[in-house]
Amino acid sequence: MFEKLFTGESIDSFWFGIISAVSLPIGAVVGIALKPGKKVVAAVMAFGAGSLLAALTLELVSPALEQEGAGYYPLAIGAVTGGAMFVLLNHILNGKGGFLRKPATIVRYLLRTKKERIHNIINKLSNVEILCALPTSEIASLVPNIAGVKVKAGQEVFMQGDKADALYLIDEGELEVIRDDAVIAVLKPGDSFGEMAILSGEPRNATIRAKVAAKLWCLLKSDFEQLKDKSPALVRALQSLSDKRCEENRNNSAWRDEVQREVDTMDIAVTDNDVVEASEGHGGAAFAIWLGIALDGIPESAVIGASIASSIGGHTAISWALIVGLFLSNFPEAMSSAVGMRRQKSSISKIMGMWISLMLLTGIGALLGNVYFQEASPFMFALFEGCAAGAMLVMISETMLPEAYQQGGSIVGMSTLFGFLTALFVKHLGA
């Protein structure tokens, strides 16, 4: 196999891979230099997605269906396998910081983590007696205002005699309750403190100090007061409900389920602060980001080489519809990602190095794809083309089109159509 690396066909595959991916550094330069608006990025992104969809249909799916000895089943098996592998690897890389590679993956990842955090908060709120007496709709409106607080070992959350201004829930760690210089209790995860601050302005009757490093959830009294001002009935309910009712609600999972249903109907937004915090929390994620972008491009690079394997499936020449479709889809992806990475304070040299290395990786992937598929059977060829098509279709549906619609709205539909027609026109010219 080594000698096949330097045949004319494999070298051609390398250069065609480079041509399809040269739009990556070009797109990054355009994004950094021009800083295009969201609607421009969205339109170009949708155009690229449409052209890639056409290329997949015309140059991967259709030929594989028509090949003798291949057909639907290897194509379908490959597509499901490729799509599942993309989803799995994408999930792993996102957890390591790879979600920072583009706006669409940032928003989707942060929305999921925010919903998980809210679910965790609701479980803890159900242990606070004073809150379990509230109507579930009112609790749901409070959840988005609950913020995370980290305290170091030995640090005081508040001192005895301080003004009462918040309720705290312990997520991780242990805290000591100190009154008159004596430790009278130790609070652990799931416990709450400062509940009376919700209903009265009395001074703190004890000092709370972290025994070990701890993570807390904090609900400011000011947020709760706004809710009370809008709902006098809420105040009356708090004053009239008995301790027995609280205990019944606290032990009833239906209360938590009802709050969760209320929260699920609310619009949860990803803020700029969420993105900043996520970036800071994944400071060493550069390699994961690079791998995430490579994951988007590996299937397309290998299929370029496979399509030039002239002895397989009647592929006697490179498909320019495929090359153009990949070129047009790579450009907006790099442009959008470069803009996002600059907002995250990545250096220009780091961004350009990333995209140039991915361009070279695409060329190498095309070369290796050609070497392998020169002797592959039609069944294996169809299986691989299905795998590549499945991975790329999942990538388009999970990243390119959601990002385009998020930033551009209704412009996305026509832009996608024009991209599809452009790739179709290139195919027509080469027919």
| pLDDT of amino acid 398 | 78
Give the side-chain half-sphere CA count within 13 A for 318.
23
* 62-106 tens-digit pLDDT: 777 777 667 788 888 888 988 898 888 877 877 777 666 666 667
* 10-40 tens-digit pLDDT: 787 888 888 888 988 998 898 888 888 778 8
Q: Are 309 and 145 a contacting pair, CB within 8 Å? A: no
| pLDDT of amino acid 288 | 62
Q: What angle do CA 79, 383, 9 make, to 5 degrees?
A: 120
| pLDDT of amino acid 239 | 56
Lowest model confidence (mean pLDDT) among 107-116, 324-333, 342-351: 107-116
Q: Confidence class of residue 165 from pLDDT cuts 50, 70 and 90?
A: confident
Domain 124-266 architecture:
Sandwich (2.60)
Please determine, for residue 400, whether its predicted confidence score (pLDDT) is greater than 70: yes
Q: 109 φ, ψ to 5°? A: -65, -45
* 303-316 tens-digit pLDDT: 777 666 544 444 44
Please determine, for residue 209, whether its predicted confidence score (pLDDT) is greater than 90: yes
The total number of residues shown for the chain amounts to 431
Closest CA to 187 of 203, 162, 210, 164: 210
Lowest model confidence (mean pLDDT) among 209-218, 288-297, 401-410: 288-297
Strand partners, 192: 169
* 230-278 tens-digit pLDDT: 666 555 655 554 344 444 444 456 656 666 676 666 566 555 555 555 5
Tokens of 17: 């891979």
Q: Confidence class of residue 176 from pLDDT cuts 50, 70 and 90?
A: very high
| pLDDT of amino acid 155 | 93
| pLDDT of amino acid 177 | 92
SS3 200: coil
| pLDDT of amino acid 211 | 92
**Close Cβ partners of 228 (under 8 Å, ≥ 6 residues apart):** 234, 235
Whole-structure pTM value: 0.59
Closest CA to 16 of 387, 382, 309: 309
**CA 221 → CA 105, 146, 167, distances in Å?**
35, 11, 7
Query: In the chain, pLDDT over 90 holds for what percent of residues?
Result: 6
Q: Are 306 and 384 a contacting pair, CB within 8 Å? A: yes
Which of 100-104, 178-182, 281-285 has maximum average pLDDT?
Answer: 178-182
Count H helices, E strands: the chain? Answer: 19, 8
Query: Tokens 């009239």 correspond to what residue?
Result: 240
Please determine, for residue 299, whether its predicted confidence score (pLDDT) is greater than 60: yes
| pLDDT of amino acid 245 | 40
Domain ranges, ordered by start, for the chain = 2-97+282-430, 124-266
CA 118, CA 203: separation in Å to the nearest integer?
29
Phi-psi region of 330 (alpha: psi -120 to 50; beta: other; left: phi over 0): alpha
Please determine, for residue 204, whether its predicted confidence score (pLDDT) is greater than 80: yes
